[in-house]
Amino acid sequence: MNISRAIRFLRKQKGWTQQQLADFANTSKSNISNLENGNQGYSEAILKYLADALGCRVSSIFLLAEYLERQQNNTLKDLEEMPVELIFLQLPEPLQQSFKLLMIQTLEQISK
């Protein structure tokens, strides 16, 4: 599983530099660079800091890493196979709230 690619993907989705992610995750730019390039392993603590900084759960990072690994061409075109959580992560932040509300309404209707 390539956690490095997932971290890089999520950082770029936010439009952040490595320095910006480092600032939000309370670490150094060189640590982010080493992590993204696979030159450094991930501890549970750093994954938690990164997930918090990126606005997702650690499980989302693993899910994305797994998906990217399956997609050898590194594109995210096939939305039918993509888990909903990953689609959500690709939305611009203003749309994420709307998406959450839509999902809640849909689940409420299904449960009636």
Angstrom distance (rounded) from CA 89 to CA 13:
8
Residue-wise pLDDT tens digits, 71-111? 655 454 554 556 666 666 666 666 666 666 666 666 666 66
Q: How far apart (Å, rounded) are the C-alpha atoms in residues 58 and 11? A: 14
The two tokens of residue 84 are: 């909903």
Q: Note the pLDDT tens digit of each residue in 43-79.
A: 889 999 999 999 888 888 888 888 777 765 545 455 4
pLDDT score of 76: 46
pLDDT at 47: 92
pLDDT of residue 34: 94
What lies within 8 Å, CB to CB, of 59 at 6+ separation is none
Task: Output the pLDDT for position 74.
Answer: 45
Structure tokens at 92: 């611009």
| Domains detected in the chain | 3-111 (1.10.260.40)
DSSP string, 19-69: HHHHHHHTS-HHHHHHHHTTSS---HHHHHHHHHHHTS-HHHHHHHHHHHH
pLDDT at 25 over 90: yes
